[in-house]
Amino acid sequence: MKLPTILSAILVAASSVSGIALKVGAPSTAPGIVEKTYIINFPPGTDGTGAVKDYFKSLNVNYTERVSINTNLGSFVSVNVPGTFDQNAHLPGVPGAISFSNVRELKRPELQALTSNEPPQLELIHSITGVNDARNYLGLTGKGVKVAVIDTGVYYLHPALGGGFGPGFKVANGYDFVGDNWHYTNPPQPDNDPLDNCSEESHGTHVAGIVAGDARNITDPSWAPTFAFSGAAPEATIYAYRVFSCSGSASNDIITAAILRAAADGADIISLSLGGGPSYADEPQAIAASLVSQAGHFVISAAGNDGAAGPFVTGNPSNARSGLSIASFDNVATPAPYVTVDGVKSAYSLGSLSTVKFTEGQLLDVVVNNLLADVNNVQDDGVKPLVANVKGKAALIRFGNDALGGSQVRCGSAYAAGATACILYSVDDTLGGIYGSPNIPSLLITNSAAKALIADVTAGKPAQVIVSQKQFLNPIPTAGTLSSFSSPGLDNELWFKPDLGGIGGQVYSTISPHAAKASGLKENYAVYSGTSMATPYVSGVGALILQAQGKIQLSEFRARLQNTASLKPVYGTNVTHNPSYQGAGLVNAFTAASIKTLVVPSAIALNDTVNLKTVSFTITNKYKFSQNYYLNNNPAATVNAVLPGDDFTQDYTTTTFTGSTPASLQFSGDDGYGSPAWDFKLVRVPAGKSVTVSFKVTPPETDPSLYAVYGGYISIVNDYDDNVITVPYAGVSGDWKNRPVWSRKSPSLGQKWLSQLVPSYKSTSTGLYKDLSFTPLAANSVINGTVGAFALAIPAITSRFATIKVEFQGLDLSELKKLGITGNSAYVNLYDLVNGGAAAGYFPLLQRTTFSNGQSVSANTVYGWDGTAVLPDLQTVVQLPAGSYKVIFSALKNFGDVNKAADFDVLTTPVFNLVY
């Protein structure tokens, strides 16, 4: 059956029950893989270009070289091979090569916010991270330290970034790996100039400003910022490496090359505000990050912005074992425009569609549409025609459920009723952007401000609002706590990630003139949010540490950052946040640069219950006298990301944190006072010496099938200084290896995802289905390839390798052989009916899904199947003959060996009869 016909039939069936239009797209390869493109690795110091050239010539195969690099830390060549090419048969034969892998796409970093005129106050952002103290008391500015920024390039002509490029300038070195017009599937167009004045977000320029920008003394009005600011290390030197073109994605071969090049150029710190993909540490860019970090070029990478997807989603290269993965914490305050109600100032958001503007100090007489809307939690206030007489006045409307009617609808009602202004108020004191009405001025105010207006009306007083475009210092309610978008760990092998955090929520920094114009900003500065911002902040702090301490080992660098980080609670509670979310905590520059007690390892991954062992750490006393150290256990919140009776990993809306079921800890030996130790211990360490301490953790008493992530912090204090050293630990309760990969039972999948596509369904289990009722397939059911069938392939967790195969159940294999199928099975050919496109049932890495799309974690999808299969070349699609078949979903378990059948999670459909 031909593709257009079968998909038309499937879409007709889908349209009868689905409220969302399903899509048809051209066939594609596995998600994230750059088709027919490979990285071939050689021993460090080996020039692989010649070996690759001679080898492909001997095969009589044409290829295109993308990038090659040869350093004393790593060497590889990436190539594109058009046409039919069996990578598994040929690439292992390249002389001198030690391994090969697929080239993968890495998407452009997604910013969580873009605003102007809401920058954080300089003193506040640096005061909660110890940067101000490091400057004022230690004289640290990052001078002499080289920080590489691997990103979209840098607009180094910005005066806050030195105004030039090359020796003697702030941006002293760098390279453009890609050029202005590069697409990640094509050969790059490198040059020696990393300037970016073409990207619309100016991501790399913003990042560079957070590391080392300095706009405190700029007087030129075309460059002067609204608020003077400086980066964390304003005298550090920037090396800029461009791996993204003006638009679009990058690829892991380019990023890996940039990491190796930055190390070869002598960068002390390598900052990467990018990443994504499955949470494993053996992707090429993560391997390179570990190699160069171990050699003294410390790699600091963004954990990612997939916090909405729930745990286990830190991206690469931040999962590098020897690299640092950075979480994001929210800033303290931002100057913001304000309204005044009864003499009290509060922030507001202006409607972006409003062509009619408020004048400075404009006084608005307010009429409340529904005085009881807030008390009664009315969600649709203003969606229908207004009940109050608002003619000639400002209408106050509760902005409830956006799905029932957005700001345009509600302010449209105000305009239709003759209001001269539309004032929406939020259900709490958080503010977001609104569209409003194009016909009257529109704004969104806080719930507190609205309550004051409602109280005035109730008391018989005039309800009035004064609108100002000036700014006041508006506290951020979530100040100093983990940003909601920050990607949690642990990684998929339960290593400790993220490592620590920096300020990434609402950070003011430099952008290019092109980006400012594209975004409609009046200055070459902007406020962005993301772990992309937290990462350069920690990189800047790293520069302060290296200025203070000089060349140090990786273990000491990590310890200084992690031992001294500040622990933060789960927002709205007094329970310490889980280490898999905040890592060691929020960076503390002053203590990190000056501490004289170090604990290594500085974070401890406990693995799962099956692999739980006694672990140890070493305390080193760098004082010139002996010290008594007092050790205590401080449990943190336990994360429950799997619900009872549900095997799918939950997102942020249903993941819960509890302090009532902590892990317990017992130190080995006595407590220092002659009694057996429990969760307290006294250790005496001589001057300049080290002492090792062992302990064992007992996981919390939770259902092991829920795979709770638990953890805590060992606090260490001494008699001499006020510093509190902490060592985070984290693990998973249960048998992680035997957690099923394929989702089989998940009520939440139906409630939060499938019901949005198909209102009536019988099952959400991974499997094959005859129709969109998703009724489980009965044995010997008939699947009509002409009509089409449906499949759900839902990974509850990420897997290193997975396949979906269709297996013939008959004895006569002659028809299959004619099609090019070896044996009795082939990869199933699936059509993605939600996103478009098609893919073979072959997944070199299978990323877990979630309920709605994130930056690196995609939503689940519904597949269509028309009886076709894909040959081992992963390109040739064949129509299977009618007969008896079953579909086999197979995925490698956590910690599994790909060569052991028992290490796969296998789900098999009942035998069915394929007809046409």
Q: What is the set of active-site residues?
A: 151, 203, 532
Return d(Cα 117, Cα 227) in angstroms, integer.
9
Angle at 13 between CA 7 and CA 17, to 5 degrees: 135
Q: How many CB atoms lie within 10 A of CB 194?
A: 28
**Phi/psi of residue 508, nearest 5 degrees:** -90, 130
Which two tokens mark 825?
Answer: 């099975």
Q: Which of 331, 652, 744, 308 is nearest to 503 (CA)?
A: 331
What is the separation of C-alpha 64 from the centre of its chain, rounded to a whole number of angstroms? 32
Q: Coil, helix or strand for 787? A: coil
Q: Which of 333, 334, 328 is nearest to 533 (CA)?
A: 328
Return d(Cα 337, Cα 351) in angstroms, integer.
13
- Kindly give, in sequence order, each residue whose CB lies less than 8 Å from that of residue 298, ignoring residues fewer than 6 positions away: 268, 269, 270, 323, 324, 542, 554, 557
Q: How many CB atoms lie within 10 A of CB 308?
A: 19
Question: Is residue 574 packed enough to be buried (19+ CB in 10 Å), middle (13-18) or exposed (0-12)?
Answer: exposed
Q: Which is it for strands 604-608 and 725-732: parallel, antiparallel or unpaired?
A: parallel
Question: Is residue 501 packed enough to be buried (19+ CB in 10 Å), middle (13-18) or exposed (0-12)?
Answer: buried
CA dihedral 569, 570, 574, 578 (to 10 degrees): -70
Q: Coil, helix or strand for 59? A: helix
List the beta bridge partners of residue 693: 617
Strands (E), 229-374: 237-242, 250-251, 269-272, 298-302, 324-330, 333-341, 344-350, 362-368
Return d(Cα 419, Cα 822) in angstroms, integer.
74
**Phi/psi of residue 54, nearest 5 degrees:** -65, -40
Amino acid at residue number 161: L
Return d(Cα 619, Cα 181) in angstroms, integer.
52
Concatenate the DSSP letters of all residues of 425-467 into one string: E-SSS--------SSS-EEEE-HHHHHHHHHHHHTT---EEEE
List the beta bridge partners of residue 607: 731
- Kindly give, in sequence order, each residue whose CB lies less than 8 Å from that of residue 633, ignoring residues fewer than 6 positions away: 664, 665, 679, 680, 712, 713, 714, 715
Q: How many CB atoms lie within 10 A of CB 807?
A: 17
Is-contact 700 733, C-beta < 8 A? yes
Q: How many CB atoms lie within 10 A of CB 72?
A: 11
Q: Which of 92, 128, 232, 295 is nearest to 544 (CA)?
A: 232
DSSP state of 8: H
Q: Which of 592, 567, 591 is nearest to 581 (CA)?
A: 567
H or E stretch covering 175: strand 171-176
Return d(Cα 191, Cα 180) in angstroms, integer.
10
Max alpha carbon distance in the chain (Å)? 92
Return d(Cα 481, Cα 468) in angstroms, integer.
29
